[in-house]
Amino acid sequence: MGSVLLPSTYGFPKQIPSPSLYSITRQEESIVVVGEKPKVSPISPSRPPKQRGRAMPSIWRPSRQADYDCFSSATPIVIDNGGSAFRIGWAGELDPRVTFRNVVQRPRHKTTGETVTIVGDHDPALMKYFDYTRTSHRSAFDSNVVYQFEIMEYVLDYGFERLGANDLQVDHPILMTECVCNPISSRSKMAELLFETYGVPSIAFGIDSAFSYKFNQQHGICTEDGLAVCAGVTTSHVIPFVKGEPVLEACCRTNIGGYHVTDYLKQLLSLKYPYHMSSITWEKAEELKMEHCYVALDYASELQLFQKGKKEAEEKTRSWQLPWVPPPQEEAPSEEELARKAALKEKQGQRLRDMAAAKRSIRISEMENELHGLKDLLQQLGQVEETEISSILSKTGYDSRQEIESAIQKITQSLRKAKGEPNETEERIDASLAEKYPLTNVPDDMLTPEQLKEKRKQTFLKTTSEGRLRAKQKRFEEESMREKQNQQEEEKRLENPELYLEKLHARYRELSEKVEQRKRLKTNGARTNGNQNLSGGVGRGERLNAAQKERMRLLTTAAFDRGKGEDTFGARDEDWQLYKLMSKDNDDEDNGQEEDEAELARVTARLQSEIQRTVPCSFAAGMASQSLIWLASLYTRDLTSFMVWIILQHPKDWLDIDPTFVAKSDMVPLQGTPELPRFRPLTAEDFQIVIGVERFRCPEILFQPNMVGVDQAGLDEMVGVSLRRLSTVDDAVKDRISNSILVTGGSSLFPGLVPRLEAGIMQIRPYLSPLKVVRASDPILDAWRGAATYAASSHFATQTFSMQDYYEKGEAWLRQYHIQYTL
Amino acid sequence: MEPEVVNSEMLLPPVLPFKRVQMSDKYPKGHARGRHWKHLKQILQAENYASYPADEPNYLNIETPPSIYPSKKFCDITGYEALYIDPRTNLRYANPDVFKRIRMLPDDHVQRYLALRNAAVVLK
């Protein structure tokens, strides 16, 4: 028995050995560097192989034991009811028969609809049959005290069932572990549950870390005077032992443990990589913690190492590759392909051009024919008598000579257009404005009614053509001005690029603020809170925007100002003008706004082109929006904030870019043209979770609980506190005690914890006083093993109490109940 | 039930022979049970430790006191030793680069960082 349990068998590498590279595959997750796997020693086939060491038994289901009947009813059942795992087995055996995670899930079975109970972990492949939406893992523990006895009952049910219990009751004495100074109500409820529901004959309660210490004492790892440092799941304890018995008056507890370490790691990583948050599950964090976390011997210097970016720090950094599929890459078309495409395009273009030319020539010839015909007709008309004209005209469909003439003119004009000759009409209009509209300048009273009508028509035509001319001129002027401006700016840029960029940024900010403010004013914040009122209706307490306010005002004035008592609205025509007013966007400074917006668009475009200039060519090459959009679709988040995140991750690559600008780039497309700034392609590195400082930062909270806001002393100081509280013993005993410090509990498995603890305690103890810190032979299982050894002793029966005892002596007695650990 | 589920023996049987009181009798279906348990805080309150002698160890008085050393300040983001505190977010930071990052952090991230060391703003 002893030989199997030597520390060497169970020990873990104190430092993770030099990294061995593990190839990164693209499809599957992998840890780049993996430490040495803990050794597996064959002890009992019924135990999960993964349980040993730092790997958790994730999906291991214990099988039902068949030999329950072989044990006499005097053989105690030993239960280690720990915060992380529930272990149950027989007294005197080496290992617990059944071990599972101390959690319960109550999902709904999908097909039958009944709520089922699942204790411990289970195969995730079977999850599809259950509906987990309303449940999660539930534990019976609040901190390290059992408080939900319904869940405890499920756990016990499962434990006894797996152990093979098949009688009408569990007819074996029970030894169960509990926390130090367990509140009496919790202890009595547990006793009640065991007595009344399972019919247990007798019970004993003991402290898990004390059993662990006693077990190691039996194997000579520690002595009868000593100290147990137990780093558990939710709490850590230090319990001094004098003459083999724990001194509870001197023990102390800090509410921090492995749970907090995992939680801290998970939170830190998901804050560091918000876009991979979904990949960082609790289970994964637990795995990372067990594989890669270690305790730094000197936290400050270890931090310095990382802060200065030394080579050692790089070697200590691990990265976890998330599954990553490279975005679809467009291959650059070969030259042949390009040439082929160009030729094809050219050919198609030529064909279209030919077709158009053919069509045009047909049209021209048609029109020429028509013109010819009409001219002939005109000639004919000139030759014949006045009386015959009407008969000829009736054949052609024209009414008069003038009509034919105007038709000829029309055709000539369109013919000229078709042939591509310059249209002289506009210039002619310009020149002959006065003669073309002769009536416009004649006073009205000199004209006949018919002429008056003609005059009105002419005036209209004249003003429109004038307007057209003016607009044309204005366009031309604007164009030339813009060109000039562009030229000036280009000069400025070439003169002093940095200053120019700075100015551009400033201008951008100023403008965008201005435009946004105006928008805000107009909508009066209606849009900022997100619940935009689409119906336009205004409920109580909702603010009106400027347009709505004006509308309200107009309506009320219409209702009240007129009539004085009776509603005369609509009696006069002007009343209806009100609606025109209402529908009009009565923003007087629209012009200024438009100008600003145009200017903003221009500045934005310039800035974008600047960015394209400043981004290194290697990034600009190839990839752009596509992979980003692809990625955004992966995460269903918006594009821009992912860009910001990428930039935050790689600040060096983006030095020249103002991230606030990039973040706002979504407002650019409003004004049209500028294309998306080119981003560097995403690489596998963007899908790597790098764990550097976190490796020792997270376990450090065991020594500095202040880091996570727990205002209590850490493990090393706890030893000092405990020794201080031992007021009754003299210094010689204290020296003996500090020469036998045993570290146990799941969190003591961190590499480097023992040396760190030793260093920490050395500072507290007097100079040159003896000090020895050892790790328990198996920090996880020792508590159960110690308890099993204890329960196998022939004197165990003296430490138990029965249901009768419990009900006769009452709670006050149960409060005083403490077992003797030395039998 | 699917054969896979039955074979895996993952479900706890509703009736167990070794129990005197079955779960379904204790907690009958369809009965609203309410909350029949106390949180640790309430348990400890009910324990009434004040009425017992002060030197008797109990769950509360075995707690470790705060450290006698002044607590070190570490950067909330990087974990390095923090020399500065950002007055706007109250985050501790190690160097100007981190400060830039802090200023670009969204507010909920700031609060989550603060919550890590129990310093977040809690609205009551």
Which range among A302-306, A317-321, A558-562, A572-576 shows the weakest confidence by mean pLDDT? A558-562
| Interchain pair A711, B66: CB under 8 A | yes
pLDDT digits (tens, 9 = 90+) for A720-768: 999 999 988 888 999 999 999 999 999 999 999 999 999 999 999 998 8
| Interchain pair B40, A143: CB under 8 A | yes
| CB-closest option in A63, A169, A712 to B18 | A169
pLDDT digits (tens, 9 = 90+) for B68-120: 999 899 999 999 999 999 999 999 999 999 999 999 999 999 999 999 998 88
Which chain B residues contact residue A126 at CB under 8 A? Answer: 4-5, 8, 10
pLDDT at position A617 over 60: no
| Segment B38-59 mean pLDDT | 91
* Residue ranges in A496-539 assigned as alpha helix (H): 497-523
Comparing alpha-carbon positions, the chain B residue that sits nearest to A143 is B40
Compute the nearest-CA separation of A129 from chain B (Å).
Answer: 8
Which residues have a Cβ under 8 Å from the Cβ of B110 and sit 6 or more positions away?
B89, B91, B102
pLDDT at position A702 over 70: yes
| Interchain pair A169, B20: CB under 8 A | yes
To which H or E segment does residue A87 belong? Answer: strand A85-90
Better-predicted residue by pLDDT, A568 or A216: A216
pLDDT at position B42 over 60: yes
**A155: confidence class by pLDDT, cuts 50, 70, 90:** very high
Which chain A residues contact residue B59 at CB under 8 A? Answer: 145, 181-183
**A141: confidence class by pLDDT, cuts 50, 70, 90:** very high
Better-predicted residue by pLDDT, A16 or B66: B66
Which chain B residues contact residue A210 at CB under 8 A? Answer: none
- CB of B65 within 8 Å of any CB in chain A? yes
Tokens of A364: 């021209």
pLDDT at position A420 over 90: no
Which chain B residues contact residue A106 at CB under 8 A? Answer: none
Instruction: Choose the mutation target among B22, B52, B62, B114 for the interface with A, i.e. most A CBs under 10 Å.
Output: B62
| Segment A291-316 mean pLDDT | 91
Computed over every residue of chain A, the mean pLDDT equals: 79
Percentage of chain A modeled with pLDDT above 70: 77
| Interchain pair A198, B38: CB under 8 A | no
- CB of B119 within 8 Å of any CB in chain A? yes
pLDDT at A666 (0 to 100): 39
Compute the nearest-CA separation of A334 from chain B (Å).
Answer: 43
| Interchain pair A185, B55: CB under 8 A | no
Better-predicted residue by pLDDT, A256 or A310: A256
CB atoms within 10 A of CB A303: 24
Which residues have a Cβ under 8 Å from the Cβ of B14 and sit 6 or more positions away?
B22, B23, B24
| Interchain pair B116, A264: CB under 8 A | yes
| Interchain pair A168, B58: CB under 8 A | no
pLDDT at A9 (0 to 100): 32
pLDDT at position A674 over 50: no
pLDDT at A406 (0 to 100): 87
Compute the nearest-CA separation of A177 from chain B (Å).
Answer: 16
Question: What CA–CA distances, in Å, run from B19 to A67, A197, A678, A710, A800?
Answer: 19, 6, 69, 42, 21
Looking at chain B from residue 77 to 106, which residues have their Cβ under 8 Å from any Cβ of chain A?
Answer: 78-81, 94, 97, 100-101, 104
pLDDT at position A678 over 70: no
pLDDT at A24 (0 to 100): 33
CB-CB contact of A781 with A84 (8 Å): no
pLDDT at A133 (0 to 100): 80
Comparing alpha-carbon positions, the chain B residue that sits nearest to A718 is B64
Which chain B residues contact residue A715 at CB under 8 A? Answer: none
The DSSP code for A675 is P
Which chain B residues contact residue A68 at CB under 8 A? Answer: none
| Segment A415-421 mean pLDDT | 81
**A375: confidence class by pLDDT, cuts 50, 70, 90:** confident
| Segment A39-61 mean pLDDT | 41
Instruction: Choose the mutation target among A116, A194, A298 for the interface with B, i.e. most B CBs under 10 Å.
Output: A116
Which range among A137-141, A403-407, A430-434, A772-776 shows the weakest confidence by mean pLDDT? A430-434
Which of A587, A741, A725 lies closest to A231 in space, CA to CA? A741
pLDDT at A470 (0 to 100): 93
> A535: exposed, middle or buried (C-beta count within 10 Å: 0-12, 13-18, 19+)?
exposed
| Interchain pair A307, B80: CB under 8 A | yes
Compute the nearest-CA separation of A540 from chain B (Å).
Answer: 27
**A53: confidence class by pLDDT, cuts 50, 70, 90:** very low
pLDDT digits (tens, 9 = 90+) for A770-810: 999 999 999 999 999 999 999 999 999 999 999 899 889 98
**A631: confidence class by pLDDT, cuts 50, 70, 90:** very low
Which chain A residues contact residue B67 at CB under 8 A? Answer: 704, 706, 712-714, 717
| Segment A359-369 mean pLDDT | 92
| Interchain pair A255, B63: CB under 8 A | yes
Which chain A residues contact residue B27 at CB under 8 A? Answer: 150
pLDDT at A724 (0 to 100): 92
**A651: confidence class by pLDDT, cuts 50, 70, 90:** low
| Interchain pair B80, A197: CB under 8 A | no
| Interchain pair A254, B64: CB under 8 A | yes
> How far is it, in rounded angstroms, from Cα A721 to Cα A740?
16
> A639: exposed, middle or buried (C-beta count within 10 Å: 0-12, 13-18, 19+)?
middle
| Interchain pair B4, A196: CB under 8 A | no
> How far is it, in rounded angstroms, from Cα A246 to Cα A179?
13
| Segment A37-43 mean pLDDT | 34
pLDDT at A679 (0 to 100): 58
Which chain A residues contact residue B55 at CB under 8 A? Answer: 249
pLDDT at position A625 over 80: no
| Segment A55-71 mean pLDDT | 74
pLDDT at A212 (0 to 100): 95
**A667: confidence class by pLDDT, cuts 50, 70, 90:** very low
Which range among A485-489, A596-600, A654-658 shows the weakest confidence by mean pLDDT? A654-658
CB-CB contact of A227 with A240 (8 Å): yes
Looking at chain B from residue 1 to 60, which residues have their Cβ under 8 Å from any Cβ of chain A?
Answer: 1-2, 4-5, 8-13, 16-21, 23, 26-27, 36-40, 43-44, 46-47, 55-59
Which chain B residues contact residue A167 at CB under 8 A? Answer: 17-18
| Interchain pair B4, A129: CB under 8 A | yes
pLDDT at A263 (0 to 100): 95
Strand A202-207 versus strand A174-178 pairing type: parallel
Comparing alpha-carbon positions, the chain A residue that sits nearest to B98 is A648
Comparing alpha-carbon positions, the chain B residue that sits nearest to A714 is B67
pLDDT at position A348 over 80: yes
Better-predicted residue by pLDDT, B20 or A670: B20
Domain A43-221+783-816 has CATH 3.30.420.40: yes
> A663: exposed, middle or buried (C-beta count within 10 Å: 0-12, 13-18, 19+)?
middle
Better-predicted residue by pLDDT, A334 or A103: A103
Comparing alpha-carbon positions, the chain A residue that sits nearest to B94 is A307
**A458: confidence class by pLDDT, cuts 50, 70, 90:** confident
Instruction: Choose the mutation target among B1, B9, B10 for the interface with A, i.e. most A CBs under 10 Å.
Output: B10
pLDDT at position A397 over 50: yes
pLDDT at position A441 over 70: yes
| Segment A257-272 mean pLDDT | 95
CB-CB contact of A306 with A692 (8 Å): yes
CB-CB contact of A391 with A414 (8 Å): no
Computed over every residue of chain B, the mean pLDDT equals: 89
Better-predicted residue by pLDDT, A252 or A605: A252
pLDDT digits (tens, 9 = 90+) for A510-547: 888 888 888 777 665 444 444 444 444 445 555 667 77
pLDDT digits (tens, 9 = 90+) for A195-227: 999 999 999 999 999 999 999 999 999 999 999
Which chain A residues contact residue B65 at CB under 8 A? Answer: 712-713, 721
Instruction: Choose the mutation target among B6, B16, B18, B23 for the interface with A, i.e. most A CBs under 10 Å.
Output: B18
Comparing alpha-carbon positions, the chain B residue that sits nearest to A154 is B12
| CB-closest option in B56, B62, B74 to A252 | B62
CB-CB contact of A32 with A22 (8 Å): yes
pLDDT at A560 (0 to 100): 65
pLDDT at position A566 over 80: no
Which chain A residues contact residue B43 at CB under 8 A? Answer: 142, 145, 147, 183, 185-186
Better-predicted residue by pLDDT, A638 or A232: A232
Helix (H, G, I), strand (E, B) or coil at A252: strand
> How far is it, in rounded angstroms, from Cα A630 to Cα A636?
10
**A36: confidence class by pLDDT, cuts 50, 70, 90:** very low
> For residue A744, what are the β-bridge partners?
A230
Instruction: Choose the mutation target among A150, A298, A715 for the interface with B, i.e. most B CBs under 10 Å.
Output: A150
| Segment A32-53 mean pLDDT | 36
Domain borders along chain A are 43-221+783-816, 343-423
